[in-house]
Amino acid sequence: MTHTNASGRVAGKRVLVTGAARGMGRSHAVRLAEEGADLILVDICRSLPEIEYPLSAPEDLAETARLVGKFGRHAITAIVDVRDAAALASVVDDGVAELGGLDAAVANAGVLTAATWDGTTPDHWRTVIDVNLIGAWNTCAAALPHLVGHGGSLVNISSAAGIKGTPLHTPYTASKHAVVGMSKALANELAAQSIRVNTVHPTGVQTGMNPASLFGLLSEKRPDLAPLFGNAMPVPMIDAVDVSNAVLYLISDESRYVTGMEFKVDAGVTVR
């Protein structure tokens, strides 16, 4: 049975989500569809040599689209690398033409490396900054031509590491802080056009983004740093849907005057 979710919290909105094939991106897509949104879903759908854990596959992206379809919502999928600005913009333009407009974008695609400072390579830096920061910028830039004129919401996924100085993944921490600066600059520039820009800051989430080497570093080399990763609330990790609920709020009209905010969904890890 399909239903139109005419009373959903984002009913009729059209939303771009990057990194949508699995993990948080899939969760965002499904939660938004549940509340009435149609979606443009993109992911790289291949692994990268600089990243130690496997990334998504094409069948993962297809599964996200299938889950969206269960709510009777439209899902347009494309395999694209967020580092490729021209390819991403082209895919977004095509998706917007098919859906008839765009109301929001979620820059969710991200990667993580784990190493001590002396094990961190230039390739680590380049890949993490290019995906997490420039990829987020490319996502905003691809969406904005379709938001100017009628307003909208940009949601950029940062991290608890974008608030505190989380060690052992310095490029990641740097990139997630940079996403905040980028988002606040855009929030200022775009406010007059009723385009809101906010960041979301999760603690550890149960996804495929878990480099085994980080656990090894904390347990063997630097156990003194382990407390920095501990949540104040009694959970080791949160669920992806907890983050998706924040994304949903920021895309909904409930947050129509919320911009430039750092929305923490972090079980208290940053108050420690």
Contact between 238 and 264 under an 8 Å Cβ cutoff? The reply is no
Contact between 20 and 58 under an 8 Å Cβ cutoff? The reply is no
Among the listed residues 192, 220, 209, the one whose alpha carbon sits nearest the alpha carbon of residue 243: 209
Contact between 73 and 36 under an 8 Å Cβ cutoff? The reply is yes
The stretches of the chain forming alpha helices (DSSP H) are 23-34, 58-69, 85-99, 122-129, 135-147, 170-190, 212-216, 240-251
CA distance 155 to 245: 12
Contact between 41 and 75 under an 8 Å Cβ cutoff? The reply is yes
Catalytic residue among 53, 172, 249, 257: 172
Contacts of 185 (CB under 8 A, 6+ apart): none
249 assigned to active site: no
CB 199: neighbour CB atoms within 10 A? Answer: 28
**Token pair 């820059």: residue:** 107
Active site residues: 172
